[in-house]
Amino acid sequence: MAENGEEDKPFKELGVCDQLVEACESLGWKTASKIQAEAIPHALEGKDIIGLAQTGSGKTGAFAIPILQALIDAPQAFFACVLSPTRELAIQISQQFEALGAGIGVKCAALVGGLDQVQQSIMLGKRPHILVATPGRLLDHLSNTKGFSLRTLKYLVLDEADRLLNEDFEKALDEILNNTPRERRTYLFSATMTKKVRKLQRACLRNPVKIEAASKYSTVDTLKQQYRFIPAKYKDCYLVYVLTEMSGSTSMVFTRTCDATRLLALMLRNLGLRAIPISGQMSQGKRLGALNQFKAGESNILICTDVASRGLDIPSVDVVINYDIPTNSKDYIHRVGRTARAGRSGVAISLVNQYELQWYLQIEKLIGKKLPDYPAPEEEVLLFLDRVTEAKRISITKIKETGGKKKRRGDDEDGIDGYLDRKHGKSSKKPKRK
């Protein structure tokens, strides 16, 4: 995958062994991404690595390939451990290890919260080569799973280190580091270099090679960014207009709150659009289910909070819509990074209302450019108004009803999706303009 005009490098030229070159080819990876081309040769020389790179840069391959190559040379159980801030990312990383290591029989275990701990202990009993874990759950297993330790570990990867530290895993990380041998290779990947990351780097890396895959807050050239200034009261109408204009594409719609993801998804489905919510409020099973439904193309609109804006590996999102403008400008970069990945083109549209202007201006300052207006003639947008208002009213009533029932039953997210599917069917109809 060529990035930003970088010359394409075949994996073989980086010193990757034939078995793994074949594995990359079977995944459709013909040439190395920038972070891979820069990190892999140093990693194969046995150096510690700090990689400044985001999801979408190919960073998983950048650490997985050298680890698997070392594993082929000296196979052993509990060879490497990757720490990830979120369950979804951990599962994706372990899937990439499995895909790359399929030909060499690599055994991986994902140790994440929200899934059955006993089953995970059984997996550990099978002595996997690679562990991918969230810090809390790894610590649980280190304390409670008999016979499990990281004493023989050769490689430790701290992925999305800035987020690992944001999410209060600091204490857990310390303990995990105390439980791993000093004689190990360490790779630290982070989207941003914060004070805490620098401190972590000093504490656990030795003479690392520093690699930067993208300049600090840039967005890629293949990304078309636009904004639309709109009155707050018509925001839903504009969203429906944009989604209808973009029908046939895959979209991620970002909202500020978990509740908004549910309400919007319900409203859009009431209008016949194939939307599905994902947020931190949902159970782990529901989150994975929603993600799989989106990946499989059953839904083409994913409504999410910033929890979903980083880490998740969703291969082809055509459009990112900022339904709510992020108050933290860096979240904008992470959100729009969900599209225009790996050389593809993508569109990002921000719907800015009168209360969000200050945050939007901060974003323009951060990315260093003024964005063009997204053309949406108001008279056309407002043709949706009656249907959108009615769909929203029905959705609010439904959420109140289901919320009440759920409280009595003690469920989490169940009910709403099923209710909608039963009531409206999984329709892919576009909402008709009046």
Site residues for ligand AMP per CB under 6 A: 1, 29, 32-33, 36, 55-61, 313, 315, 342
Pairing mode, strands 9-10 and 31-32: antiparallel
Least spacing, CB of residue 293 vs ligand AMP, in Å: 18
Q: How far apart are the first and last CA of the chain?
A: 45
Backbone torsions φ then ψ of 287, nearest 5 degrees: -65, -45
CB of 172 to ligand AMP, least distance (A): 23
Q: How far is the CB of 353 from ligand AMP (least distance, A)?
A: 33
- Which is closer to ligand AMP, CB of 96 or CB of 225? 96
Nearest distance in Å: CB 97, ligand AMP? 11
Q: Beta-carbon neighbour count of residue 159 at 10 Å?
A: 25
320 Cβ partners below 8 Å, 6+ apart? 251, 252, 254, 335, 336, 338, 339, 346, 347, 348, 349
Closer of 95 and 249 to ligand AMP (Cβ): 95
- Between 133 and 139, CB nearer to ligand AMP: 133
**How many whole angstroms separate alpha carbon 79 and alpha carbon 113?**
22
Give 56 or 431: the residue with its C-beta nearer to ligand AMP: 56
Nearest to ligand AMP of 43, 420 (CB atom)? 43
CB of 64 to ligand AMP, least distance (A): 8
Nearer to ligand AMP, 98 or 313 (CB): 313
**Is residue 32 within 8 Å of residue 14, measured between CB atoms?**
yes
Instruction: Report in angstroms how near the CB of residue 33 gets to ligand AMP at its nearest.
Output: 5
Least Å distance, CB 135 to ligand AMP, is 19
**Neighbouring-strand partners of residue 347:** 224, 319
What single DSSP character describes residue 223?
Answer: E
Chain centroid to CA 192: how far? 15
Q: Are the C-beta atoms of residues 334 and 191 closer than 8 Å to each other?
A: yes
| Cβ neighbours of residue 289 closer than 8 Å, sequence gap 6 or more | none
Smaller CB separation from ligand AMP, 16 or 263:
16
Q: Which DSSP letter does residue 383 get?
A: G
CB of 164 to ligand AMP, least distance (A): 16
Whichever of 54 and 121 has its CB closer to ligand AMP, that residue is 54
Please write down the HEC assignment for all residues of 291-325: HHHHHCCCCCEEEECHHHCCCCCCCCECEEEECCC
